[in-house]
Amino acid sequence: MHVVLVTGISGSGKSIAINVLEDDGFFCIDNLPMRFLHEVITSLREAGHGKVAVSVDARSGDSVGELREVASGLGRFGHDVKVIFLNARTDTLVQRYSETRRRHPMSLRLRTGDGAAATLVESIERERELMAPLEDIGVSIDTSDLHPNLLRSWVRDVVGTERAPLTLLFESFAYKHGVPLDADLVFDVRCLPNPYYTAELRPLTGLDDPVITYLQAIPSVERMIDHIASFLHTWLPHYILENRSYLTVALGCTGGQHRSVYCVEELARRFRRIEHVLVRHRALAQRQSAHN
């Protein structure tokens, strides 16, 4: 199995690391007590999982020091084990906790002489003491001045994974029913000639051959599709750099029956060669649901 152990100081980006690994196909577990680690890895292997990422932090108590021995043991059993230790300056951690208004996980475990919970800085320093023996166990990353996207990229580099394919969802819709709320990009194709005004095409849809033949013969339709495709080819890499897992591209016409359906199908056909593509026709689905 490919096992990644993510540890370090709370607030330094462990959640970001675990989330990006989960997006890349790892079975992820957050804050697993050390004493269960070997047993869980064995069970997941027997269940057929090939990639597992586990977050371990100071909430495991003094047993967190066992991580070095456990990692070595997993290696002896034939697993490919990588350890990532995330750290950050105290002033950066204080700022991050102030922004999120979350309580430090150590604060309730530490008590002052009068029984009060420890301050944020006291909790951070105590956690540093507990985690210090592990700083050299694997790859150490200081996230103090690191943009989250750069951290995601570095985690992928350390682990040796590639990003999961972006899911590109093309959907057609009817403007008379409103713009779908899940759309990231919206294109209006109502300026194209409308097959609705041709009597024999009116009951058909953009999935039917007569409508397809009609729209294929119109140069402006091809230009519209070319321009939308060019826009997406230009800007998709930028969405990917932002670690987007999904991008919804909505095309609308008046009734969502002819023009938008045809354009969506054409765009989906072009982009299936480079990304994972899904297609959804809102108005057609609503009509089918009404008939059922």
- Percent of the chain topping pLDDT 90: 45
Q: Is the pLDDT of residue 60 over 70?
A: no
Q: Is the pLDDT of residue 112 over 60?
A: no
Are 180 and 48 within 8 A, CB to CB?
Answer: no
DSSP the chain: -EEEEEEE-TTSSHHHHHHHHHHTT-EEEES--GGGHHHHHHHHHHTT--EEEEE--GGGGGGGGGHHHHHHHHHHTT-EEEEEEEE--HHHHHHHHHHHTPPPTTTTT-B-TTSPBPPHHHHHHHHHHHHGGGTTSSEEEE-TT--HHHHHHHHHHHHT--PPPPEEEEEEEEGGG---TT-SEEEE-TTS--GGGSTTTTT--TTSHHHHHHHHT-HHHHHHHHHHHHHHHHHHHHHHHTT-SEEEEEEEESSSSSHHHHHHHHHHHHHTTTSEEEEEEHHHHHHHHHH-
For Cα atoms 163, 64, 28, give the angle at the middle one, nearest 5 degrees.
Answer: 25
Query: How would residue 119 be classed by pLDDT, with cut points 50, 70 and 90?
Result: confident
Predicted confidence at residue 288, as pLDDT, reads: 75
Task: Please tell me which residue, 21 or 56, carries the higher pLDDT value.
Answer: 21
Q: What domains can you pick out in the chain, each with its CATH number?
A: 2-159 (3.40.50.300), 167-291 (no CATH)
Query: How would residue 290 be classed by pLDDT, with cut points 50, 70 and 90?
Result: low
Backbone angles phi, psi at 5, to 5 degrees: -105, 120
pTM: 0.63
Tokens of 224: 């519209």
Task: Please tell me which residue, 198 or 130, carries the higher pLDDT value.
Answer: 198
Mean pLDDT of the region 241-260: 90
Query: How would residue 287 be classed by pLDDT, with cut points 50, 70 and 90?
Result: confident
What average pLDDT does the structure give for the chain? 87
- Percent of the chain topping pLDDT 70: 91
Predicted confidence at residue 185, as pLDDT, reads: 96
Predicted confidence at residue 223, as pLDDT, reads: 97
Residues 42-54 have pLDDT tens digits of 899 888 898 999 9
For Cα atoms 69, 27, 75, give the angle at the middle one, nearest 5 degrees.
Answer: 25
Predicted confidence at residue 128, as pLDDT, reads: 87
Mean pLDDT of the region 71-99: 87
Residues 155-213 have pLDDT tens digits of 988 888 776 678 899 999 999 989 998 899 999 999 999 999 999 999 999 999 999 99
